Each structure stands twice: as C-alpha cells, then as structure tokens.
Amino acid sequence: MQKKNGTAIVLVLAFLVCSSFALMSCSSSPDEAQMKQLNDLKSEVTSLQNDAAAKEQQLGNLQKEVADKNAKLKKCADDQAIVKQRLAK
C-alpha cells in the first residue's frame, strides 16, 4: 500500500510540474517586441526574395549575352574558315 501511495504522489507531482511548465511557457498572444521582430523578419524575407529575383533576372541577361557572343564567335570562325578555304584555291 505504501508503494502505491508513493507512486501516486510521484505521478501527482510530475503532473503539477508539467502543467506549471505548460502554463508558464504558453501565452495567448505575442508581445510588442515579438511582433516587431516578426514584422522585421517578414520585411527582411521579402527584401531577400526581391534581391534573389533581381539576381536571377540579371543571371538570365548575362547568360543571353554570353550566348549571343558565342554565336558571333562561331560565325566569325565559320567566316574565317571560308576565307581560308577560298584563299587556298
């Protein structure tokens, strides 16, 4: 009987400790500092997303420029090969 009472007391104490932790850690709404921090983080995320989109667009433009220059180089090489071929005749 003593063992059952001891176990019951331990269980009740564990329940009280757990419930007190739960009550202390939970709040119904964030305070002003937390809201400001959240809003700051949201604006930072938006800013970083805009920067990422701008960088992706810039990358696309640079890749297009490289492709255009490579096409010009190929055309020049082809023209040079044709000229050499005609001069060899």
Structural domain boundaries, residue 67: 2-88
Query: How do residues 20-37 score in pLDDT, each as one tens digit?
Result: 666 565 566 778 999 999
pLDDT score for 29: 79
Q: Is the pTM of this model over 0.75?
A: no
Domain count, the chain: 1
What confidence score (pLDDT) does residue 14 get? Answer: 73
pLDDT digits (tens, 9 = 90+) for 44-77: 999 999 999 999 999 999 999 999 999 999 999 9
Q: How far apart are CA 84 and CA 80, in angstroms?
A: 6
Residue 5 reports pLDDT greater than 90: no
